[in-house]
Amino acid sequence: MTEETAWKFEPEAIIAIQLWRKNPESPSFVRVCFTGKVHSFNAEQALDDEIIATHCLSHKQMAEKNYN
């Protein structure tokens, strides 16, 4: 599948399923978090307006940057 960041993503496992809501008046979303492999960037795919950068980090790198 092509991800909204224009990278091809091959999911391998589900990490978490989360119910998320910005505030009590907002709609709820079910968010599924996957682990997998990322490859093959498509430079011609338009990105979502909110995406300013993408980073592929290991668990150790995320822990060091406190992204957990």
Whole-number Å distance between alpha carbons of 57 and 62: 6
Say if 22 falls within a structural domain: yes
Say if 2 falls within a structural domain: no
Domains in the chain, number = 1
Q: Which range marks the domain in which residue 26 is found?
A: 7-65
- pLDDT at res. 17: 96
Residues 22-42 as b/e (b if ≥16 CB within 10 A, e otherwise) read: eeeeeeeeeeeeeeeeeeeee
Section 38-64 average pLDDT: 83
Whole-number Å distance between alpha carbons of 37 and 8: 8
Say if 15 falls within a structural domain: yes
DSSP at 26: S
Instruction: pLDDT band for 30, please (50, 70, 90 cuts).
Output: very high
